[in-house]
Amino acid sequence: MKNDINLRAADNIRILAMAMVEKAKSGHPGGAMGGADFIHILFSEFLKFDPADPQWINRDRFFLDPGHMSPMLYSILTLTGNFSTEELKSFRQWGSPTPGHPELDIMRGIENTSGPLGQGHTMAVGAAIAERFLAARFGDLFTHKTYAFISDGGVQEEISQGAGRIAGYLGLNNLIMFYDSNDIRLSTETRAVTIENTAMKYTAWGWKVISIDGNNHDQIRKALKEANAEKEKPTIIIGKTIMGKGLLDKDGNSFERKTSTHGMPVGEAGGSFEKSLENLGGNINDPFVIFDDVKELYSNVLKTKRETAAQWKEKKKHGLPITVNSIKNCTISMQVTCHL
């Protein structure tokens, strides 16, 4: 049953992403639908944040690199209560809070503006360096993880590679990237433009590399656990995903793995919005519905996150011993009380 509800949640994200693009008559459904499984498991089971306090200093950070997969981010942030389904319906409209590519809005859970591929890598590496710097000085007051969601297009950008090298060199074990490797980038298959071995490249830079089926929830969990336990290196989880997971054409045949779903509504790309919606368990009369069982799941998830964050704040309120170990050959200990 647990797997069923998690699949329902991921399918709900797929439906919302597909419906947003269909309604707007523009956008990118395919990649968002393939990444839905990872994003659901990450946000519901791993990412630490406080639903009551989006600016909590010790929240885990999440950076999206492929801004065109924004429907995936807006959908998960709707399940976490940061956006409403009405706001999803105004996707890509003038003045709406859900533009085609996300814009920085910490209060709503958007940690970075994205669109120019590769920049999400650099922001995540920068944030992870800042976190290690602060943790070295102030101890576990600032100890959290930095996650990044990257894709084929971002790995092709040279700026992301410079960031990747420095992350490996610095041994940023607090940095965890998920590479949505769906073998499609924009209008072609990746093999038409690159033959490099990404796993070997990141290994050579000193990263821990984990290769999984990126739509398999148990493999995602296992990889995230391993990455969280890593003590020496940044981790890249290379997840093979299915572009447009769950899509069908009008005859009910699979319409998955189609480059055309990179950047246009499913119907326009040659698939069937109605058949796919039905296949994913959606409601044709209202594709923007959040299923009752998914609502309940997320209500429990948010409750646990609130409690965990409150416990952390309570503990820190009473002060914590901090070891400042940045001065060569010296160790200075002091007591700091924080108002959080």
Ligand X SMILES: Cc1ncc(C[n+]2csc(CCOP(=O)(O)OP(=O)(O)O)c2C)c(N)n1
| Minimal distance, residue 177 CB to Mg ion, in Å | 14
| Minimal distance, residue 152 CB to Mg ion, in Å | 4
CA distances from residue 252 to 18, 36, 274, 295 in whole angstroms, order as listed? 17, 22, 10, 29
How far is CA 20 from its chain centroid? 18
117: partner contacted, choices Mg ion, ligand X, none (Cβ within 5-8 A by kind):
ligand X
| Minimal distance, residue 184 CB to ligand X, in Å | 5
Q: Which element (helix H / strand E) includes 321?
A: strand 320-324
Q: Which of 21, 22, 23, 31 binds ligand X (CB under 6 A)?
A: 31
Q: Does 256 bind Mg ion (CB under 5 A)?
A: no
Q: Which of 173, 182, 235, 276 binds ligand X (CB under 6 A)?
A: 182
Nearer to ligand X, 134 or 186 (CB): 186
Diameter of the chain measured on Cα atoms: 72
Q: Does 182 bind Mg ion (CB under 5 A)?
A: yes
Q: Does 152 bind ligand X (CB under 6 A)?
A: yes
Nearer to ligand X, 58 or 276 (CB): 276
Q: Token digits for 208?
A: 């821990």
Asked whether the CA dihedral 87, 124, 306, 336 is positive or negative, the reply is: negative
CA contacts within 13 A on the Cβ side of 188: 6
Contact segment (CB under 6 A) with ligand X among 2-10, 27-35, 131-139, 164-172 equals 27-35
- Sites for ligand X among residues 66-85 (CB under 6 A): 66, 68
| Minimal distance, residue 17 CB to ligand X, in Å | 11
- DSSP one-letter string for 219-258: HHHHHHHHHHH-SSS-EEEEEE--TTTT-B-TTS-B--S-
Inter-residue contact 126 to 174 (CB < 8 Å): no
* Total chain residues near ligand X (CB under 6 A): 20
Q: Does 186 bind ligand X (CB under 6 A)?
A: yes
d(CA 197, CA 168): 17
| Minimal distance, residue 65 CB to Mg ion, in Å | 11
Per DSSP, 105 falls in state: B
Contact segment (CB under 6 A) with ligand X among 37-45, 178-186, 230-238, 315-323 equals 178-186
CA distances from residue 208 to 50, 134, 203, 223, 226 in whole angstroms, order as listed? 29, 23, 6, 11, 10
| Minimal distance, residue 156 CB to ligand X, in Å | 7
Residues that bind ligand X (CB under 6 A): 28, 30-31, 66, 68, 115-118, 151-154, 157, 182, 184-186, 243, 262
Residues that bind Mg ion (CB under 5 A): 151-152, 182, 184-185
